Amino acid sequence: MNQSETYFKNYFSTINESLNSINTSYLEKIAFLIKKTSKLGRKVIIIGNGGSASIASHLTIDFINAANIKAMSFNDSSVITCFANDYGYENWVAKALECYSDAEDTVILISSSGQSKNMLIAANKAKHMNLNVVTLSGFSSKNPLRNLGDINLWVDSNAYNIIEMTHHVWLLSIVDYIIELNNKE
């Protein structure tokens, strides 16, 4: 086996281990929480920074288009820069939640490090507003975001791409599970 072949086999093995590290009952709980949110006529709000914002956008489209779940993400640069300018970058997500969320919405906060101040403040704001909160994080098992949700998913890795790919696949598996449940109804 050559060097590149070894690298990629090890890389894919690491992702596979990361994906399979989840207790799938957590994914099921999130799916049922989202279905409950939808049955109440509420929406799912998915938020992240950087690569996690891209995951939020992809997930939002799949919830809306494929799973028939009302969803939104805060990736409009005008919203971000307005609230960041007026309230500070660390507070922009919390302010957006104040403006766009309704009682019994579900908020999914994605932060690879679990230490992004805007996500931590948003998690606390969402709990104060009695919203359902799901968090996804990685890096340290003691990262502060990991304990702020009603359901918290954590990836045991220090590599951004491993964490982000794992978050992405876990979340998309929830979309596909909801689609399967909807087809059985």
> Phi/psi at 111 (nearest 5 deg)?
-145, 115
**pTM reported for the whole predicted model:** 0.96
Q: Which residue has the tokens 């690491």?
A: 14
How many angstroms separate the CA atoms of 179 and 167, rounded?
Answer: 19
CATH architecture of the domain with residue range 3-184: 3-Layer(aba) Sandwich (3.40)
Looking at residue 22, what is its pLDDT?
97
Domain boundaries in the chain? 3-184
Cα angle 63, 15, 56 (rounded to 5 degrees) comes to 25
* pLDDT tens column, 61-120: 999 999 999 999 999 999 999 999 999 999 999 999 999 999 999 999 999 999 999 999
Looking at residue 147, what is its pLDDT?
95
> Phi/psi at 43 (nearest 5 deg)?
-125, 165
pLDDT bracket for residue 1 (50, 70, 90): confident
Strand partners, 107: 45, 133
* pLDDT tens column, 23-73: 999 999 999 999 999 999 999 999 999 999 999 999 999 999 999 999 999
- Per-residue pLDDT for 185 more than 90? no
How many angstroms separate the CA atoms of 119 and 59, rounded?
Answer: 18
